[in-house]
Structure 1
Amino acid sequence: MSTVQRDASKGALMVLFLVTMIDLIGFGIVIPFLTYLVEDLADSQGIVEVGIWVGILMTSYSAAQFLFSPIWGSISDRIGRRPVLMIGLVGNTVFFTMFGLANTLVVALIARFLAGVFNGNIAVARAYIGDVSTPKQLATRMGLIGAAFGLGFTIGPFIGGELSDPASRWSTFESTIFETYPYLLPCIAASVLSLLSLIVAYKNLPESLPVELRSKKSNVNLISRFKSSSKNIASTLFSG
């Protein structure tokens, strides 16, 4: 077994578990307060289509991931899995906080969409596991990603609900930025988790794809990848 595989069995798999869990926390954290956030921003802008905006904001993150994950997969074939995973964690750190600071629905949509654009971590984490696993290990290790899905989707809504609108519940937060932006605290919590995950990955996650196995193509046709993803979405939405 290679050095990377030994490292994976000791610690790298748990880093991948953490990265995937953070992704799902970021997806689920908005669920408890998204309707209230849209209502607040819609009232200030005179917008009445609250339900439509809730749907748009809820799906934008996943739609962006669906569109751009193939592109990040191609990039990881060229530069390795590790840097792409870190780019995703940086994106989470920045855009989760940006979402909490949104003062218009458009800014909230941009933040949510960009968080998805810069985050292809789930697909790349699976590719990493494929790099370092034997056929016998693959199913068990992929199951770890599934467990991270479940845990992250459980923790995310809990954090979102418990930390929303802290100024109305705890005097410590009165007359602070958290009174102006009542949904900022859970977003900051998600950003901090992403930052901690980034630090852990930087220190403990070895590269899984050796240089000699990386794509030798001088140019990856990213536009064709994007078009392919777009066609997949269109066929899913409009088939039948």
Structure 2
Amino acid sequence: MEDERKVPLLKKVYYEDCPGCRIEKRKDTDDRIPWKMLVSIWIIVLGNALPISSLFPFLYFMIRDLHIAEREEDVGYYAGFIGSAFMFGRALTSVFWGKLADRYGRKPIIIIGTTAVVIFNTMFGLSVNFWMAVSSRFLLGSLCGILGPAKAYVSEVCREEHQAVGMSVITTAWGIGLIIGPALGGLLSQPAEKYPQIVSKESLFGRFPYLLPCLCTSFLAAVVAVGAFWLPESLHKHKPKSLSEDESCEALEAATHCLDDNSSGKEVRGIAENSAKSLFKNWALMSSVIVYSIFSLHDMAYTEIFSLWAVSPTTLGGLSYSSEDVGVVLSFTGFGMLVFQLIFYPYINKYFGPIMLTRICGVLSLPVLQSYPFIALLSGMSLTFLLNFASVIKNVLSVCIITSTFILQNRAVDQDQRGAANGISMTAMSLFKAIGPACGGALLSWSEKRQDSSFFPGTHMVFLLLNAVELVGVLLTLKPFLVERKD
């Protein structure tokens, strides 16, 4: 009798007018990687990532030109506020954009975010005082909420076995944006000084020496915003209509929910409401968000410190590099990271799994990072070679960690909560990243004033503290703290 009451699995139903169902149907009938959609989202994420860190190579000189710092050692202190403004703005609005993406779709939020980049990134390049620079960066962060919806989109268009490739596309675009952005900022800032035969001091770019790199990234964002209109939506949008009990079960099956024959609409609503309330109780999600936030704090502080340290005078423990030299190093780093993520990461992730890979990469980052002050003692080709090598290794390890935490987060929730879950992730990460530049700039300024200390003098202390944050992240990957959803 008990076997007779068992209900067989229902046949999955696809709604022809639902974009999410079209994506699901393609996934069920085609086992190939959706490269067309992944390339589109790669370009979109890249266009939005470029402005985030493009300011770091010239931020030192921008603060100096705005005449806000009284002493050279104070430049890093004020630079931290501008670097943090973007992340602080994004922390305030990420959950809001995530919920909108769950309600109205991924594509509208992506279009709004790229449009915000065009407007406020250009405004930052036109900044004539410190507060205009801070406010434009804050508004840019508040209105650019595309990373969460982009992660949700990739996890929805890729089959389970292609999740690592899809998330590698996101983190590669994001990581390269955070690398190529500073390269563009270093190569194109202050063009009247670097290329006087092409740009005069009386021209627009001569009067606004930091506008050219901002305009270039804004132009790419404008192209991306237009192209995003052709991006297929991935969110399920079933037209409401009166359904019988059996049809209701079929519709829910299409949305990947499996119900018994005797499930009522009231019970379904109760399940959905409990599910919506349980995001903060979902430890698989929250533990991966915490780990992701710690490593993001480290990466953002490292990104700012590296550029400021490289352009600092050798008397203060830096390399006396120009912004152009920093741009060249970061360009080489971006290329190495792209090759590794697209070719090697999916296989390494398949072998180790996201948690173990995060742990291994965190441990390997420690000696690489602590070697930087010793690299600064070199000169000539040995300095160039080792600095580029260390930069590539450090950033490859970092992007592997971020990609693995992305996979853990998106596997921890179902589609109807994915936008909100990524919004929570972005809010937590942005809060930590807002702390990163401010703390990084202040730490660098403090370290440059203690060159003769007997205990980790100068920049040795900065990289030691960065390693302390990295070590905390590694410890949080251990059981029972970090867990993975198995179903």
TM-score range, shorter chain: 0.7 to 0.9
The answer to which structure has the higher helix fraction is 1
Q: Is residue 42–residue 50 contact of structure 1 (8 Å, CA) maintained in 2? A: no
Of residues 229, 232, 245, the one that matches 1:206 is 232
Matched AA of 1:208:
S
Measure the CA separation in 1 of the matches of 2:196 and 2:37: 39
What is residue 165 of structure 1 aligned with on the other side?
190
Aligned residue in 2 for 1:188: 215
Cα shift readout 1:60-83 (whole Å, capped 9, x = no counterpart) = 212222332111000111111101
TM-aligned CA deviation for residue 131 of structure 1: 2.4
Report the Cα distance in structure 2 between the residues aligned to 1:144 and 1:233, rounded to whole angstroms.
24
Q: Distance in 1 between matches of 2:431 and 2:190?
A: 35
**Cα distance in 2 for residues equivalent to 1:166 and 1:21:** 24
Aligned to 1:80: 105
Question: Quick one: which of 156, 168, 172 aligns to 1:147?
Answer: 172
Question: Paired residue for 1:40?
Answer: 65
Amino acid at match of 2:229: Y
Amino acid of the structure 2 residue aligned with 1:198? A
- C-alpha displacement of 1:53: 1.7
Query: Does the 8 A contact of 2:34 with 2:158 survive in 1?
Result: no
Task: Find out whether 1:92 has 2:92 as its counterpart.
Answer: no
> CA offset at residue 141 of structure 1?
0.7
After TM superposition, give the deviation of residue 18 of structure 1 in Å. 1.2
How far off is 1:233 after superposition?
Answer: 4.0
Q: Is the 1:94–1:191 Cα contact (8 Å) retained in structure 2? A: yes
The answer on 1:4 being equivalent to 2:4 is no
Instruction: For 1:17 and 1:148, locate their aligned partners in 2 and report how far apart those are by CA, in whole Å.
Output: 5
Partner in structure 2 of residue 128 of structure 1: 153
Q: Which has the higher contact order (CA 8 A, sep 6+)?
A: 1
One-letter identity of the residue aligned with 1:115:
L
- Decide which of 182, 191, 197 is 2:224's aligned counterpart: 197
Aligned equivalents of 2:54, 2:98: Cα separation in 1:
25
What is the identity, as a one-letter code, of the residue corresponding to 2:204? Answer: I
Question: Which has the higher Rg, Structure 1 or Structure 2?
Answer: 2
Deviations along 1:152-178, one digit per CA (max 9) or x if unpaired, are 122111100110111222333212111
Specify every segment of 5 or more residues in structure 1 that has no aligned partner in the other structure, as ranges: none
- The structure 1 segments of at least 4 consecutive aligned residues displaced by more than 3 Å after TM superposition are 1-8, 46-50
Could you tell me the percent identity over the aligned residues? 30
Query: Any idea what the Cα deviations from partners look like across 1:69-109, whole Å, max 9, x if unmatched?
Result: 11100011111110100100001111110000011111100
Q: Which residue of 95, 109, 127 corresponds with 1:70? A: 95
Kindly provide the CA deviation profile for residues 39-64 of structure 1, in whole angstroms up to 9, marking residues without a partner as x.
Answer: 11125xx8665332200111221222
One-letter amino acid of the structure 2 residue matched with residue 4 of structure 1: I
1:27 and 2:46 correspond: no
In the superposition, the TM-score normalised over structure 1's length comes to: 0.82
Structure 1 233/62 Cα, relative in aligned 2: closer, same or farther at 3 Å?
closer
Q: Return the letter of the residue paired with 2:162.
A: Q
> Which string of whole-angstrom CA distances, capped at 9 and with x for unpartnered residues, describes residues 113-158 of structure 1?
1111111111110111122222222222111112112221221111
Structure 2: gaps of 5 or more residues = 1-13, 15-20, 28-32, 239-254, 256-271, 274-419, 436-487
SS at match of 1:172: coil
**Secondary structure at the counterpart of residue 206 of structure 1:** coil
Could you say what secondary structure the match of 1:207 adopts? coil
| Residues 12-51 of structure 1: per-residue CA shift (max 9 Å, x gap) | 21121112222321112101101111111125xx866533
Question: What letter matches 1:29 in structure 2?
Answer: S
Letter in 2 for 1:209: L
| C-alpha distance in structure 1 between counterparts of 2:37 and 2:54, whole Å | 25
